[in-house]
Amino acid sequence: MTEDKLPKGPLAFPNAVPDTFYDFNDGMTLRDYFAAHVINGMLGNPRYDGSSHADLAIHAYTLADLMVEER
């Protein structure tokens, strides 16, 4: 994973056990968690126009960024 792709910001599901004890992942970022919920809401909306997957992801992460910033 390149440096610019590493998670930034708080984690949604941080690991309670230190990495030195178990080799666990630290979880998804809060940004990813918010974006997943945005996408879920958009796809659940009967008026969603079915725009491209790329547009859906861009919109979800734009809203997620705003949510993290507001938080």
Contacts by residues 5-13 (CB-CB < 8 Å, ≥ 24 positions apart): 7/31, 7/32, 9/68, 10/68
1 found inside a domain: no
Mean pLDDT per 10-residue segment, the chain (71 residues): 54 63 66 92 84 87 93 86
Domain range enclosing 51: 8-14+25-70
55 found inside a domain: yes
31 found inside a domain: yes
pLDDT at residue number 67: 93
pLDDT at residue number 50: 73
pLDDT at residue number 36: 93
29 found inside a domain: yes
Contact 32, 13 (CB under 8 A): no
Q: Which amino acid is at 49?
A: D
19 found inside a domain: no
2 found inside a domain: no
- DSSP code string of the chain: --GGGS--S-BSS--SS-TTTS------BHHHHHHHHHHHHHHH-TT-----HHHHHHHHHHHHHHHHHH-
Q: How many domains does the chain have?
A: 1
20 found inside a domain: no
pLDDT at residue number 20: 59
